[in-house]
Amino acid sequence: MHMDMSQYLEIFIDESKEHLQTMNEILLVLEKDVDNLSHLGEIFRIAHTIKGMSGTMGFTKVADLTHKMENLLDLVRNGEVKVTSYIVDVLFECFDALEEYIDNLEKNGSEGDLDSSALVKKLAVIADNKGDMTAGKSEPKKNEPIKNDIGEETFHIGLNDIESIIQTAFEINVKSYLIKVTLDEGCMLKAARAFIVFNTLERFGEIIRSYPQAEEIEDEKFDQSFEILYFTKLDEAYCKTELMRISEIKEVIVEPLEEMDYTAEQSLKDVEIDLEHVNEEIVKSGKDEAQNTKSDKGKTSKTVRVEIGRLDNLMNLVSELIIIKTRLEDLDTSQNRMVDQNSSNNMNEAIEYLERITTSLHDAVMKVRMVPVERTFNRFPRLVRDLSKDLGKNIKLFMSGEETEVDRTVIDEIGDPLIHLIRNSLDHGIESPAEREKAGKADTGFVALRAYPDGNTVVIEVEDDGKGINPEVIKKKAVEKRIITKETADIMTDKELINLLFEAGFSTVDKVTDLSGRGVGLDVVKSKIEAINGTVEVVSTLGQGSKFIIRLPLTLAIIQALMVNLNKEKFAIPLNNIKEITNIETRNITMVQDQEVVLYRNKTLPIIRMKHVLDIDQTKEELDEIIVVIVKKGDVEAGLVVDGLIGQQEIVIKSLGKYLTGIKAIAGATILGNGSVALIVDPNQLF
């Protein structure tokens, strides 16, 4: 069973995430607009969908929780319970629990150990206290089975407590049936089949109850068959044919209920069934545990949801490629027969055509990998809401440019650094309402999250209107923590001082808060962003706020690079790291603290010998003038000495693979036009 389910797991996770995302958004809206019942309907619908999907997949924890949410939401929707901020909070908690389950499913294929029974209880308490109607709906009904005289079929549905309803039904000429549906032995998605059965029946009448109960059926807690008490105006035969039309149904038995049929009897049978039930559940939970232990096998792969139009475009381009291939083959054969002006013209034409297609193809493939930053952004409204509540600050979040697209791999990496920066702004940046008032600011602070494309990069800014960063405080701390000496500190500009925030071991807050005091500093943010070839810097005006600016490459796969020579070896230096290229006379190089430096444009520029870094024979005689590629890392610059420049080139970054990890100063490799491999230098690791 589970082998077969795995193929649906990815889809399940993808869809659940989407639904959860929507739920999150609606919850945030709901919180501000508690009286609007349409939001509740929407959340109800989502909970219901997730319940259905997880039930089918056999994820009982998710299904249970969503089921309970559904119960509560149903009451709220019907106006029996009024929405309060407490209810919204509980719903948020449910959302968190669901998200964790889905995360666990994605990471290791099982729901994990998170226990949501307390949450379920909370939901039940709300439902019980505020709505009188709850008992009938959410509590398990007493199952008093009846034995039916007709045929050998035994029905387990208890009818006692609803005699009057059945009676009424008879009176208004609605027929009641007991229906027993038996599924094929090989039926794969039993719950899904059952769902179709329910749906079909609901088109023509009303399902009063079922055995097992609907939630258990959705959880697939039944063998091959289940029973339904059904009210309809249709006749028996019609119901039967309608149901038999559904595939994978082995047998349908429809028993009309006669007026006196529902007399209760046989409590012995009841006990028997209950025991059976319990046994079944024990077996089931045992199975679950077994699955948990081997959970690490079930990791899912990364997926990208692609608009069909983009794939069509890709397909078109590939077909064009095939056409041009045939055309080149034709040219090849005709060229063998006669060499004339005409065919070489054709050849050029064909090559141009080919070039055009490969460029378009490249674009198209890139687009397939692109996803909007929305995917990362959409968790922030919730984050800001929760944090500002915890901190007792009034904070508004503005977001713009959510539609800006970046490569999928970039999206995955950028989430954590952004969370960190936002936390930082909320915790250290924005002042408490009292402080803000004293400073003459509006008591609601703001955090703005903006994304926009800028040439070949995407910029993401996190800006707040808080107290800003005090360079003097930084200076003091940095000297205290021995990150820099007093002498260095004195000659540093404010901007340089502020950027010391990104140094390892730097944290300006003495008080460790729950939020930012996790032992992770901004240096981690920086290294994470640099790992994906991005940069981060901060600008700040004391008293007015700070802005963190992150620049990210559009894609990690293809970059512009400068190809250089070192002896006979070729290396690529990413162009976005390069500031300029210059020649420097060797006699101008001086040694400062074991480091070669040169005075360039009135600044000291450290000189890095690439041959030394890359372990290349350095015995060749030194020239009077050397070629220096000046690279920048944030505000810091360094000159890389190379033998020769080959030129600028678009390169495809390839990983060196798991076998060769942690190679110093190398970001990967690329394949050159002649098929040989060149290594890509990572200037960020050089200084």
Partner 1 sequence: MSEIREFVTFRLNQEFYGIDINNVENIEKVLPITRIPYTLNYVNGVINLRGIIVPVVDLRARFGLTPKPASDESRIIIVNVDDLKIGMLVDSSSEVLQISTDEIDDAPNVRKDVDNEFIKNIGKKNGRIIMLIDLYKVLNIEQHVE
Site residues for partner 1 per CB under 8 A: 569, 613-616, 654-661, 663-666, 669, 671, 675-679
Side chain identity at residue 379, one-letter code? R
Pairwise CA distance, residues 292 & 110, whole Å: 6
Token pair recorded at residue 113 = 């150990």
Told to judge if 424 belongs to the known catalytic residues of this protein, a careful annotator would answer: yes
Nearer Cβ to partner 1 (186/675): 675
CB of 566 to partner 1, least distance (A): 10
How many residues are listed for the chain in this entry?
687
Q: 24, 104, 313, 424: which one is catalytic?
A: 424
CB of 674 to partner 1, least distance (A): 9
Nearer Cβ to partner 1 (162/561): 561
Pairwise CA distance, residues 155 & 157, whole Å: 6
Nearer Cβ to partner 1 (316/567): 567
CB of 648 to partner 1, least distance (A): 21
Token pair recorded at residue 571 = 């290396």
The residue written with tokens 């040219």 in the block is: 331
CB of 409 to partner 1, least distance (A): 17
Q: Using H for helix, E for strand and C for coil, what is the string for 614-681?
A: CCCCCCCCCCCEEEEEEEEECCEEEEEEECEEEEEEEEECECCCCCCCCCCCEEEEEECCCCCEEEEE
CB of 670 to partner 1, least distance (A): 9
CB of 440 to partner 1, least distance (A): 56
Q: How many C-beta neighbours within 10 Å does residue 498 have?
A: 22
CB of 661 to partner 1, least distance (A): 7
Nearer Cβ to partner 1 (392/675): 675
- Tabulate helix, strand, coil % of the chain (nearest 5): 50, 25, 30
Token pair recorded at residue 584 = 């420097």
Give 58's contacts (C-beta < 8 A, 6+ positions apart): 1, 2, 5, 219, 220
Token pair recorded at residue 562 = 């400068």
Token pair recorded at residue 631 = 């690279």
Q: Where are the beta strands (DSSP E) in 311-417?
A: 370-372, 394-400, 405-407
Q: Do 203 and 253 contact (CB within 8 A), yes or no?
A: no
The CA-atom distances, in angstroms, between 272 and each of 58, 216, 279, 512, 513 are: 26, 18, 11, 59, 57
| The dihedral formed by the CA atoms of 35, 41, 44 and 49, expressed in degrees to the nearest 10 | -160
Q: Do 664 and 684 contact (CB within 8 A), yes or no?
A: no
Nearer Cβ to partner 1 (593/661): 661
DSSP one-letter code for 146: B
Side chain identity at residue 181, one-letter code? V
Nearer Cβ to partner 1 (173/661): 661
The residue written with tokens 């800014």 in the block is: 461
Nearer Cβ to partner 1 (283/660): 660
Q: 19, 39, 70, 577: which one is catalytic?
A: 70
Nearer Cβ to partner 1 (209/570): 570
CB of 650 to partner 1, least distance (A): 16
Q: 15, 31, 48, 251: which one is catalytic?
A: 48
Nearer Cβ to partner 1 (205/298): 298
Nearer Cβ to partner 1 (440/662): 662
> By C-alpha distance, which of 601, 596, 479, 474 is closest to 538?
474
Q: HSE on the CB side for 46, CA within 13 Å?
A: 22
Q: Tell me: cis bond preceding 212? Omega within 30 of 0 counts.
A: yes
CB of 617 to partner 1, least distance (A): 11
225-232 and 175-183: which strand pairing?
Answer: antiparallel
What DSSP element (H or E) covers 256?
A: strand 249-256
Give 214's contacts (C-beta < 8 A, 6+ positions apart): 198
Nearer Cβ to partner 1 (126/665): 665
CB of 680 to partner 1, least distance (A): 11
CB of 304 to partner 1, least distance (A): 21
Pairwise CA distance, residues 460 & 450, whole Å: 6
The residue written with tokens 């007493």 in the block is: 142
Catalytic residue IDs: 48, 70, 424
